[in-house]
Structures are given as C-alpha cells and as structure tokens.
Chain A
C-alpha cells in the first residue's frame, strides 16, 4: 500500500523535529494535554472533529492573556503531507495571532484535510480564495532565522510547533 498523505505528513514532520500525534475525536482531550506548556490559550476548533471545551486551554483569550501565554492552540484549515506544512487560516477569532504571538504553536487538523502535495494545496487555495476573500499562512515548522550568524529556531514567532491529526469519528 502506498503512503497516505497523513503518513507523509508524519514522516516529514519527523525530519523537521516537529512532534506529531494522531488521535481520535474521543481521545482528543487526553491527547492534547501533554502538548500544552505553561499558560495555554486557543481558538475554538471550528470545522475540526474535536473541541477545546473540556481542556485546560483558555478559549478566545484577551490580548493581554495571549501575550502572557506560552502555548497557542489553533485549528489548521488543512495540512500538506509532502512539506509537513499546516495552513493557519486568517479568522476573526484570531487564529493567526494565537499561532504567532506564543512560543509553542499546537495546530489541530482533521485527517481528511491532509492533502498530499503543493499542487493539491493550491487547487484548494484557488477555489477557496476566489469564492470568498480570505488569507492563510502555510506554516512549516517553527519560526527561524540565520541572520545572527547561525540557524536559530524561534525568531519573531514560535520556537516550537506541535501537530495533532484527528482521525474521522468511527462510522
């Protein structure tokens, strides 16, 4: 059997030193817990088969709470297997902010939303962007810089990224 997009996502994230875990809607809360570090804030997981309601994550934080937080949990619109990327949607709920102004970003994506490659990703972007004006960030691993003389993980954005892939609920 050939590798699924999720297999490829898991293996690419492995090479990027990004912890990735597959879980189910039922086991989600338990699975998320070890990925939270310090004060955790988040954006409700619209469109994902999981919820932050019964977790330790402060959903829809104030700006001050975001600034004080260490971990930010957001949904990802989809993920790109080949590249180990997650797509953070721009949303009025502030996914972009919560994934950026923290030291650890935890991205949650549905397994059915893992596309194999960049071509599939841009087919999806094209359709969505023409249907409704919107923005998204293809985020791959932590923020990084080589401008200070050697590679440093954690520049202006997070120094760590974790990804949780939620398998579809049993039929």
Chain B
C-alpha cells in the first residue's frame, strides 16, 4: 500500500495533470453519452454480448482459430507472459527483424514484451505518442487509455528537448507532435515487424477492431511485412455485428469522444500493399501484399478468472477507463498510486488480483471507497465496487490471527478470517456506537481527549485531524418509543429504518423525517433494528455484512407483511438494500426489501404525487440552498427526488457536481488517506464557497458527506429533510 508520504508525493508531482485530464474526460463522457438516444439499451446490449462471449469462450476460441487459419494467419494461445514472449521472440527471430514498431497495447505492457525483445537485441519502438513519451522518459503508464496523462506539456517539452536536442527547442503541443511524427515516421518506415493489440476480435471472420486516433497503428501494420497482434483471450466476441455497441460506447465512455478518429476493422493478414517509400517505379497496385500474421491470445490467469464467480465480471471490461476518470480518488492520485503492475483505476483490482495475485491488488485496493460512481459509468455495467470488496475480503483472510486476542471480545463480527484491527474497528462500528450512546456524553469527552486521539491514531490509524462523531445519549429509537402520536386514517403506514448514524449520531434528522412523514399523513414506527452491514462491507467483511443483512431482513419483514413501507434516511443504506443485498440475501428476501424500501425524499415525492399536500410541509420562501447529493444516491438516480421536493416547497437549489465528497464512510478518517480525502473534498469546498454559493444554506443527504462538509466549510450543514420540518 502507498504510504501517506508516497500519496502526498504523487499528488504533488502528478496530481495537477491527472486531475485536469481525468476530470476533462469525465465531463466529456457525460456530454457524449448524453447525445445518445439509446445509451442504456446499448449498455445492456454490450453487457449481454460480453456475458455470452465469456460463457462460450472456449468454443469461440476454437472457431476463431479456424477463421484465422483459413484467412492465412496463425493463432497462438499463450498460457502466461513467458510463453507469449517466447512465441513473439521466435516470430521476430524468424524474420531476422531488427526493429519492431508497436501501437498502444496494455496487454503488451502486462507481459513486458518490450523487455523480452530488447534482451534479444531487437529495437522496440512505441509509436503511440503517449507511450513513446513514456519510453523516452523510462516511466510506466498512469492511465490505461492516456498513458502519459500525468505529464504536463512543459514536462514533455523539457524531456524531448533534453533527449533529442532539436535545433529550435520545442514548446507547443503542435511542435512536439510534429517532431514525434517525423521521428517515429522514419522508424516505422524501416521497421520489420508491426505489433498491435486488439480491442475486440470476432470469431466469425477473424476481424480485429482497433480503437485509435493517431493513425500509428494503421501505419505500423501497413509499413511492415509481419503483423503480430497480442490480446487477452477475453477479447473474442462472436460476430462482426456484435462490434456495434462497443464502437458506439468505448470512446464516449473513456475520453468523452463520440468516436475516435479511426476504428480499424482489420481481418489479417491485411491485403494493403507492402510499401518501400524509396520505390519510385512500381505503382501501388502492382506491389505485393504478402504479410505474415500471428495472433497471440494470452491467458495469464484469465481462464481461472472465468471460473471464479466473483472475478469473472472483470473479463467483461473493455478497458475504456471510465472507472478511472469517474473516480474521485483516481482524479487526485492517478494510476501510479491507484494501480498495480499494469492496470489502474477501480477495475484494476480485478485484473491485478487475477493476473498478478492478491498481493499486487492489496497495494492499491483500499483506494476504492465503494462510492459506486463507476458503476453507472461502466459501459458494460461491471459492479466494480463489489470486485474491490471481494478482493478486500480475500485479503482479510490472509492476515490470519494478527489481532484476534485484542478484539475478539469487543468486536462481535462473523469473520472467520482476521481483518486488520482498523478494519474491524470500522466494520463493527455498530457495537461502538451502542456503547457510545449508552455512555454519552462521557464517551464523547473521553474520545476527544488528546491521549485518546493519539492512541486512536497509533493503534487504529484514525486521523487525529478529524472530528469524531458525537454519540447522542437518547437514540432515535428511544425518542420514538416515548412518543405518543396517532395518525387518524393514515395515508400510508411506514417503518422509518433507524440506520446506525441516524439512530446514534444524527438523531435530529431522524426526528425531522418522522415529523415530516406524519404531517403528510403517514403512520410511522421506528423499531430497533440492526445496522445495515454497510460498515463491515466497506472493510471487506462480507460474512459480517451478510449476517447484518439477514437480521435486517428478519426485523423488517413482519412490518412489510403488515403493510408498512420501509423509509431510509441514510443514502448508503438504501443503496445497501437496493444493490448489495442482492448479493447477500436470498432472492425472496432481497426483493421484498428492495421493492418496499424508499429513500426518504423518494418517499415524500411519492406521497406528494399521490395526493398529499406540499402545503403541509414547511416552505422555504425562496431560501437559497447548496445541495450535495450522495455518491451512492446518485448512482441509484435518487437525487432528482430531493431536488423536486425542495423546489415544490419553494427552496432555490444549486447542486454540486463532484463525484464524491471524499469522506466515503471510514475512508477519510483513516490517517493513511486523510490527505487524499481532503484533496477530493477541496473540489466540493470550491463549489460551495464561490460567489454564487457562499451564502447558501448547505444541505447534504449522506452522513459522511455532512461530516466532510463540516470539516471543509465554516458554516453549518444539515440534512434537507430538516428544512421541511
């Protein structure tokens, strides 16, 4: 894992360029997919093609072998990196090739073929301008699509001027590009072997799709007599028509381009004439096109991932980079910190765990906070947070016995393995909150003392710069139990789910929610209920989370059967009910809870739409609000309900558009990530302190967003339901 000082360094040196570029891509994605009339249908289609292709992979590979051979090429399946490199080296040696020109391919980075060929004395030249810059700089990619995203124009100019000493120093992007084109153009013309990757390969025709913009892949193939393509086995799809949704989605999802300049649909060996630019006699039409073609499909752990129920989805990944660009943490630290040996961003945890092993994934996996913004962004709908959770759970299993003697008595979790002490502390937050409320205010005073905070930082890694939640002596459940309200002829009957934070910490928002619902004619009960399991899940403690889920279902089931709706204040908990419980509960229990559960504003909206009167709620008389929705709430598309209700009640609302506040549950409390968390939060602070917003009342739906906003801003914050009470 990157240490705080390493994270600080990478943010200081690369953060500005990474941040500007990824945010630009991310904005571009929203704009570009917004121009599609059938975006969701295309995503569904892409997803189902991948599901089917991975399911039938062995059969498709057999078919592809037949088509490639019928076309005049060779298909080689490499078991691992060494096997792949040995094959490539033998092809290159057979051609007596001195130079190999390459277009961009992450799979070739994965097997480190450049190093293997260099040992044989072969000159390997990267022709993608970003890859070439990195080759000159001797650095690794920090992003799977834009590999040199961490480098500014000035630093590239400095590098190229120093290395090549051009007559006139290069400064602008145009000058640098022109220089690189000329330099690389000569190298391409004299090359013997062209190596490419492949974004997709169709089994029916042996056609590979290459998604590019510079034209270097086209040149690398056209100017050489031997074409080697390296790709993971998962790139095979059934037919040419199946390419369509991917071609429409990949550029939009990644860099925000509707389509890249070139989608090469190559069915190698390609028949383009082989060219020698010194030839001034033979017309192009009379030149030969006698090319060799070798397709090297690489397993390297992928077939084992295919057999792994939890990692299989990783193989649907089309390497578009949406999960990197939409990730608030990635936007700050980039792929050198948020990445493994080859891959970076949220999905890298799946790739690196499958290809390199859990150790490599453990280096960066905790940078995924589970905010879920990448789930919407992913064109094939991969549940990337879940893959991160599973890998974290497996990693917990590797720390056997470390702290058991200390925590077994205090932490009533269901883990058979041993998560770190810090993970068990956050994972068992419910037990801590119960004790905290029982002993409040004494518990708050005790934990606020300097020695206590120093101990917490040392033993638990809880950053002492953070204010801790203040537990309330009277929980929401206690308060509700003492009330005696009766709603005559109730419009609806509901359970207000007393989530951990609303029950113990942000009790006022719970009271407000109860009163608001009652004023709209809802009969509300607040029974004691277990916490949702969000806290242990975020620490990778899946068994404990499942135990919570089962107990929550058991507790709420009688109420649902009694005709009550379930209303949830905390967005991360309604997200549990809607998303993660599908994996934790049996289908029946999941459906019951998911179909009867509502986020509080979604519920209020439904009441107003069905005849309840907004006049029964407190109105804002035009009060100006700055509203920050919650990441998981936005993934579920629940933000519009809050906005609609607030506007009906005469509030004037402006919203933030950051992907996440940066706190993300326990993430921002951890000493290791405090600075990353605050860097993410700085965007939100900027949005809420500019002239337009600085005098607006700040409201936010999520507990951790509110905690983060309290640390970022100097004005009070609250849950929007409190404004209607």
Contact = CB atoms under 8 A, between A and B. Distances in A.
Contacts of B77: none
A97 B273 contact: yes
A134 interface: yes
Interface in A129-163: 129-130, 133-152, 154-158
Contact of B278 (A63, A130, A137, A154): A63
A149 B181 contact: no
A133 B261 contact: no
Contacts, number: 199
A65 B177 contact: no
The listed residue with most B CB atoms (<10 A of its CB), out of A64, A90, A148, A154, is: A148
Given A66-B284, A96-B218, A156-B214, A149 B261 contact: no
B215 interface: yes
A64 to B, nearest CB: 4
B219 interface: yes
B97 interface: no
B240 interface: yes
Contact of B240 (A118, A129, A158): A129
B244 A118 contact: yes
B283 A60 contact: yes
B69 to A, nearest CB: 12
A9 interface: no
Contact of B261 (A90, A126, A144): A144
A2 interface: no
Given A94-B273, A119-B244, A133 B205 contact: yes
Nearest to B177: A152
B270 interface: yes
A156 B265 contact: no
Contact of B239 (A126, A145, A158): A126
12 contacts: A61-B283, A61-B284, A62-B280, A62-B282, A63-B276, A64-B278, A96-B272, A97-B222, A119-B244, A126-B239, A147-B133, A147-B177
Interface of A: 43, 60-67, 83, 85, 90-94, 96-98, 100-101, 118-119, 121-123, 125-126, 129-130, 133-152, 154-158
Given A96-B222, A137-B263, A140-B259, A145 B214 contact: yes
B180 interface: yes
B156 A97 contact: no
Contact of B173 (A66, A126, A130, A148): A148
Contacts of B255: 146
Interface string B109-135: 000000000000000000111100100
B241 A123 contact: yes
B279 A148 contact: no
Q: Which 8 residue pairs across A and B have the least CB separation, nearest first?
A: A149-B153, A157-B215, A94-B284, A64-B280, A147-B130, A155-B214, A156-B215, A147-B129
A170 B263 CA distance: 34
A121 B248 CA distance: 12
A130 B177 contact: no
A65 to B, nearest CB: 7
Q: Which of B130, B184, B243, B265 has the most CB of A within 10 A?
A: B265
B285 interface: yes
B277 A66 contact: yes
Interface of B: 71, 127-130, 133, 146, 148, 151-154, 156, 173-174, 176-178, 180-181, 184-185, 204-207, 213-216, 218-219, 222, 239-241, 243-244, 247-248, 255, 258-268, 270-273, 275-285, 287, 289
Contact of B156 (A101, A125, A149, A155): A149
A91 to B, nearest CB: 7
A100 B219 contact: yes
Contacts of A150: 153, 173
A60 B285 contact: yes
Contacts of A143: 213-215, 261-262
Contacts of B258: 83
Contact of B207 (A61, A64, A129): A129
B277 to A, nearest CB: 5
Contact of A126 (B222, B240, B280): B240
Contacts of A157: 214-215, 218-219, 261-262
B197 to A, nearest CB: 16
Contact of B180 (A129, A139, A148, A158): A148
Contact of A64 (B214, B244, B277): B277
A141 B265 contact: no
A96 B243 CA distance: 21
Q: Which of the listed residues A60, A135, A136 has the most CB atoms from chain B within 10 Å of its own CB?
A: A135
Contacts of B151: 149
Contacts of A136: 265
